[in-house]
A = this chain, B = another copy of it.
Amino acid sequence: MIHMDVDKFVKKEILAMGGGSLTRSMPPMPPNAINLLAGDPDFNQPEFISKAVYDAMREGYTHYAFGGDPAFKTAIADYYGKYGVEVDPAKQVLITSGGSQAIFRAFGTILNPGDEVLLMDPCYTGYSQPAAYFGAKIIRAAQSKDEKRLFRPDFENIEAAITEKTKAVLICSPDNPTGAVWTEAEIGRLAEIAVEKDVLVISDEIYTEFIWDGKHVPIIDKPGMEERTMVLMSFSKTFAWTGCRAGYIIAGPQLMEKINQVPIGITGMPLPFQKAATKALAEGWDFVDSMREAYKRRIDAVVPRLNEIDGVSCPMPEGAFYVFPDVSSFGVPSMPLLLGLLKGGEVLVAPGSLYGPKGEGHVRLALVKPVDVLEEAVDRLGKYFSGLKG
């Protein structure tokens, strides 16, 4: 090999991102460790969905479908209609390779270097890399805890953080990791701010099927918001399809024309999966119900048990399937805490600092294991934490 400087050729925003990732810096998993790191539902596909993919392939749906399958887009528009929103399938729906690509495409439609994107603090970690890739600056609006100990949007912080350079405010409701579901009043307030300050809203709504308290309020439906909103959706959580990479964006027709122009590839999903996903939207709700019930049982089992641990304070999530307990009383930063928990407690959780400065002092547990495994995990946490106190 001739030595050469690859960096010379690399897009400067990538060089600025630096290398490395959480996964790379992780120590090896102890053999008996319980992995609650990723939000990967532990449910397998019902037979009819697997069969639908097979059937589509046998029926010859393996050829180009430029712009996506119209029947699938119609099914998506109909589905979103349950929130009272009228969506034109031909002009307002774009199919993506999962929620992660929906984020990339949304950012890729609007961001030039120097632009700003406003995120809540704490918030899901997957927004940072795409923003950095496009050279945008991330600004964070610190959230405040309510009387239920849930992080909620702080509109003073949000208004103060919007500048001339802000292209969009990104929200996630139901929220990962905090578990908050934005209320009608909160969604309404943010829409007013967006119109008044003339910014877009990127609305990550991938957990809408998992709400325990409250209801989903679509911001795209608020006055003046249709051409100002990009709704990011995914089948990964709704139908436990994380490995099947299926998602979509809903936006106003004018905005969608631009979103469509990001030339990521011919279509976001293989056509057989578009066919199967159409079927899932028609017939998959028993499966979703069963997952919903399982998550609820897990939350009900885990939250009280966590609160029994001296020094841990865990609110009931209003939505999604994570718990985000406050463990700040132990005085250990969440990253070393994660490593200690993994080695000493044999439980892998996500460190709160991953979600922003306000996430520090918390850990996130993805409830993607059966109740008995989750109970065992909480017991291990309790044991490890009692060692810290002692």
Q: Which residues of A contact B (CB under 8 A)?
A: 1-2, 4, 6-14, 17, 19, 23, 38, 40-41, 44-45, 47, 49-51, 53-54, 57-58, 60-66, 96-98, 100-101, 104, 108-112, 129-130, 133-134, 167-168, 195, 198, 200, 223-224, 226-228, 240-246, 252, 254-255, 257-258, 261-273
Top 3 closest pairs, chain A to chain B, by CB: A101-B265, A54-B54, A50-B57
* Cα–Cα, bound, A7→B254 (Å): 9
Q: Does the CB pair A2–B223 fall under 8 Å? A: yes
Q: Which of chain B's residues have a CB closer than 8 A to the CB of A268?
A: 97
Q: Does the CB pair A100–B265 fall under 8 Å? A: yes
The one of B10, B54, B101, B246 in contact with A50, judged by C-beta atoms closer than 8 angstroms, is B54
* Cα–Cα, bound, A227→B257 (Å): 37
Shortest beta-carbon distance, A169 to chain B, in Å? 12
Q: Which of chain B's residues have a CB closer than 8 A to the CB of A40?
A: 63-64
Q: Does the CB pair A45–B64 fall under 8 Å? A: no
* Cα–Cα, bound, A273→B270 (Å): 9
Q: Which of chain B's residues have a CB closer than 8 A to the CB of A100?
A: 263-266
Q: Does the CB pair A258–B133 fall under 8 Å? A: no
* Cα–Cα, bound, A57→B62 (Å): 17
Q: Which of chain B's residues have a CB closer than 8 A to the CB of A257?
A: 19
Given contacts A1-B226, A9-B110, A17-B261, contact A243 B50 (CB under 8 A): no
Given contacts A6-B252, A100-B263, contact A47 B58 (CB under 8 A): yes
Sampled A-B contacts (28; CB under 8 Å):
A1-B252, A2-B223, A6-B227, A6-B255, A9-B200, A10-B258, A12-B112, A14-B109, A14-B261, A41-B63, A44-B62, A45-B58, A45-B60, A49-B57, A62-B241, A63-B242, A64-B242, A96-B265, A100-B265, A101-B264, A101-B265, A104-B264, A133-B263, A244-B270, A244-B271, A245-B267, A245-B270, A270-B273
Shortest beta-carbon distance, A174 to chain B, in Å? 20
Q: Which of chain B's residues have a CB closer than 8 A to the CB of A54?
A: 50-51, 53-54, 57
Q: Does the CB pair A243–B65 fall under 8 Å? A: yes
Q: Which of chain B's residues have a CB closer than 8 A to the CB of A269?
A: 245, 270
Q: Does the CB pair B98–A266 fall under 8 Å? A: yes
Q: Which of chain B's residues have a CB closer than 8 A to the CB of A243?
A: 61-65, 270-272
Nearest B residue to A41, CB-CB: B63
Q: Which of chain B's residues have a CB closer than 8 A to the CB of A111?
A: 11
The one of B9, B98, B133 in contact with A265, judged by C-beta atoms closer than 8 angstroms, is B98
* Cα–Cα, bound, A38→B65 (Å): 11
A-B contacts besides A101-B264, A245-B270, 15 pairs, CB < 8 Å: A2-B195, A2-B224, A8-B198, A9-B200, A11-B109, A14-B258, A19-B257, A50-B57, A53-B57, A61-B243, A64-B242, A65-B243, A133-B263, A244-B271, A246-B270
Q: Does the CB pair A244–B6 fall under 8 Å? A: no
* Cα–Cα, bound, A38→B66 (Å): 11
